[in-house]
Amino acid sequence: AKRSVDLKVPSAPGFRVEYAVQGAGAPVLAVHCSGSSHKQWSPLCDVLGPNHRVVAPNLFGAGGTSPWPPHGRPQTLDDTAALVETAAKDALGDDDRAPIVIGHSHGAAVALRYAATREVSGVVVVEPNYMSLLEAAAPFDDKPDEAARTGGVDDASAFLGRMMAEAQSGYHGWGECFHRFWLAEEESHTWAMVPEQQQKVLLDTTIPGCAYEIGSIDGARGDSSTRDLVGLAGLPGAKHLILSARPGVGSQRCL
């Protein structure tokens, strides 16, 4: 079932959050990736529904949730974590059990911030892009692993820099950049081959939303990511990281 609830965002009144809720039992919060919606978790809801109450909010600009204001202050991970918490409280009512929180890609970064700052019983993240957590972590003892980690952070930082630079010219350069980075591992599928109507949707709604989300992750560098790392280290429940041999493969199923 889909429901909606008001969200209080400082300096940005009038927000509405839409979320899906299904099942009965132990609470689970499912946070979707950029450019997706709560529908991403429909198969998971069907599997978990008999024994869990799954709450899957639509993040800013997805489905019936209000978009982030284009001329407002920068979006933060705390804003999106608050959105998830608002949906959870509305859906779960008097159930005060600590939830398991699940997230994919940007949703994984939100899930990590949520788990670091609120009580949870576990966290599962798929393809998390909260890169500054790696920067805040202690160096690996294994030099190849350390080099791989550093290279991954550098690559992600360069990508974020290109995307934010393109945003200054009105997002049109994002299409090819975004598509090449996430979806076009095969030369047979390029941005030029995306139908014009789909390009328009991506440029008008999906990609601007991604800009705010990327900005919220980039803004989490420094003290906030260090605090999150400490908070996550103290979690009492299980912590699972699912690695993909093909970065972005999860996104291909959602965008």
Dihedrals phi, psi of 249, to nearest 5 degrees: -65, -35
Number of H helices, E strands in the chain: 10, 7
Among 146, 138, 109, which Cα is nearest to 125's?
A: 109
Q: Quickly count: other Cβ atoms within 10 Å of residue 146's Cβ.
A: 12
Among 151, 252, 170, 179, which Cα is nearest to 211's?
A: 170
- Most confident by average pLDDT, 62-66, 144-148, 166-170, 191-195: 62-66
Q: Which tokens belong to 67?
A: 């978009």
Q: Are strands 52-57 and 15-22 parallel, antiparallel or unpaired?
A: antiparallel
Q: What is the mean pLDDT of the chain?
A: 77
Q: What is the pLDDT of residue 138?
A: 53
Question: Which whole number is the average pLDDT over 49-60?
Answer: 94
Residue 26 pLDDT > 60? yes
pTM: predicted TM-score of the whole model, two decimal places = 0.79
Q: What is the pLDDT of residue 21?
A: 94
What are the CA-CA distances from residue 48 to residues 26, 213, 254 (Å)?
Answer: 10, 28, 20
Q: What is the pLDDT of residue 156?
A: 58
Residue 211 pLDDT > 70? yes
Confidence of residue 159 (pLDDT cuts 50, 70, 90): low
Task: Pick the range with the lowest mean pLDDT from 20-29, 120-129, 146-155, 203-212.
Answer: 146-155
Instruction: Establish how many alpha carbons lie within 13 A of residue 213's alpha carbon, considering only the half-sphere containing its beta carbon.
Output: 27
Q: How far apart are CA 248 and CA 17, in angstroms?
A: 27
Q: How far apart are CA 188 and CA 172, in angstroms?
A: 22
Confidence of residue 102 (pLDDT cuts 50, 70, 90): very high
CA dihedral 242, 110, 119, 136 (to 10 degrees): 70
Question: Which whole number is the average pLDDT over 194-211?
Answer: 79
Confidence of residue 51 (pLDDT cuts 50, 70, 90): very high
Q: What is the pLDDT of residue 107?
A: 94
Q: Is residue 33 a contact partner of residue 102, using CB atoms and an 8 Å limit?
A: no
Q: Is residue 118 a contact partner of residue 94, using CB atoms and an 8 Å limit?
A: no
Confidence of residue 2 (pLDDT cuts 50, 70, 90): confident
Return the HEC string of 10-49: CCCCCEEEEEEEECCCEEEEEECCCCCCHHHHHHHHHHHC
Three-class SS of residue 229?
Answer: helix
Q: How far apart are CA 148 and CA 79, in angstroms?
A: 31
Confidence of residue 53 (pLDDT cuts 50, 70, 90): very high
Q: What is the pLDDT of residue 12?
A: 57
